[in-house]
Amino acid sequence: MRALLFAAAGLVLAGPLAAQEVVRTERAAFRIAPVAQGLEHPWGLAFLPNGWMLVTERPGRVRLVGADGRLSAPLGGLPETVARSQGGMLDIALHPEFAQNGLVYLCQVQAGEGGFSSTLVRARFAESRFEGAETLFAAEPRATTGQHFGCRLAFGPDGMIYMGLGDRGRMDRSQDLADHNGSLLRLTPDGRVPPDNPFVGRTDARPEIWSWGHRNIQGLAVRPGTGQVWLHEHGPQGGDEVNLIKRGANYGWPRVTHGVNYGGGQITPHTALPGMEDPVHVWTPSIAPSGMAFYEGDAFPGWRGNILVGALRSRLLVRLTLEGDRVVAEERIPTFGERIRDVRVGPDGRVYLLTDDSRGAIWRLDPA
């Protein structure tokens, strides 16, 4: 069966990559091992129950990755993606009952009347392709700008899917409840509005919104054992934020920020305002965080309970130590000097990294 699947999917062996020397950190030592290469701007990663992976490529593809690193040809059956600037085929998440229903969720940019928008797509994984794909939700209003699509996905313990969006390069959108962009959305698994969402019944607000006032959400994760939704978002020049999400809360952008305009110039004099939530952690200067995971595995016991964050601009892995709901320490861990787009913890307890490059790859941190 395994051989037939690989043949059907057109899998080929990824080329060799050199493993790195031992990296020693405050609470762990590891080697960086290659998993797969030959990926064009990989963006999101999901582990299948058998340990294989589904990985998205921003130009509009999804591939299957074998446990031995073999890459499939692009899997068919998905709607057309607009791969423009920062947009394309972005995040991917499995339904909590994937083993029974085979459902996969993708956040991809699609064209529509008025421009492009981040959309939520659901399809059934059928080994060498997807079947029954449908677009469940499209952010409105659309725009022709090519930046700040957000597009991170995560299922909560309540069974709802959370979808993080960016402001599409127009900061005013984040303070407009009639605009999906610049918000964290909460949807049922079939794309409907949960009746307990905070703005249900208001004529001046989109009912899908769970929190608002975000600039560009690039990391999204649920803290194990708590049900808490955490995210991080890009600031402008400075002011990247980690936020603990509260129902219906306003996170301030652009009325509140620790950053300034690119090239200098004040956006707002305020780093805090009444009625707006303060970030749990701020990076100034920016690291351009991307990807986010809570670590609870056995491979690195010293990291349990910590947040792991990739960095595009700073090209490293960041480990945040928590006490309660506060970040009390930060460790910046050098890896291999490439832009890290996503961070995931595998079923084996190891940490997997995606590198954002035209010759991108999947790497694994193995305990040393």
* CATH for 313: 2.120.10.30
Domain count, the chain: 1
In sequence order, which ranges of the chain are alpha helices (DSSP H)?
2-9, 98-101
Nearest to 232 by CA among 210, 249, 216: 216
Residue with tokens 């703005």, as numbered in its chain: 199
Q: What is the pLDDT confidence band of residue 127, given thresholds at 50, 70 and 90?
A: confident
Nearest to 355 by CA among 30, 118, 10, 58: 58
The residue range of the domain holding 233 is 2-367
What single-letter DSSP state applies at residue 175?
A: G
Q: What is the pLDDT confidence band of residue 67, given thresholds at 50, 70 and 90?
A: confident
Catalytic residue among 148, 214, 232, 258, which?
148
Residue 133: per-residue pLDDT:
98
Mean of per-residue pLDDT scores for the chain = 94
Nearest to 289 by CA among 348, 217, 194: 217
Instruction: Tokens for 331, please give them.
Output: 């460790």
**What is the model's pTM?**
0.95
Helix (H/G/I), strand (E/B), else coil: 219: strand
How confident is the model over 302-311, as pLDDT tens digits?
A: 999 999 999 9
Residues 65-76, mean pLDDT to the nearest whole number: 94
Residues 138-143, mean pLDDT to the nearest whole number: 97
Cα 148 to Cα 172: distance, rounded to the nearest angstrom: 13
- CB count, 10 Å around CB of 266? 9
Residues 132-156, mean pLDDT to the nearest whole number: 97
**Annotated catalytic residue 270:** no
Q: What are phi and psi of 219, to 5 degrees?
A: -145, 140
Q: How many helices (H) and strands (E) does the chain have?
A: 2, 24
Number of Cα atoms under 13 Å in the Cβ half of residue 186: 22
Residue 17: per-residue pLDDT:
41
Cα 318 to Cα 308: distance, rounded to the nearest angstrom: 6
| pLDDT at 90 > cutoff 50 | yes
Residue 16: per-residue pLDDT:
38
Cα 107 to Cα 119: distance, rounded to the nearest angstrom: 6
Q: List C-alpha distances in Å: 50 to 100, 182, 266, 301, 347.
A: 13, 36, 51, 24, 9
Instruction: Tokens for 101, please give them.
Output: 């229903």
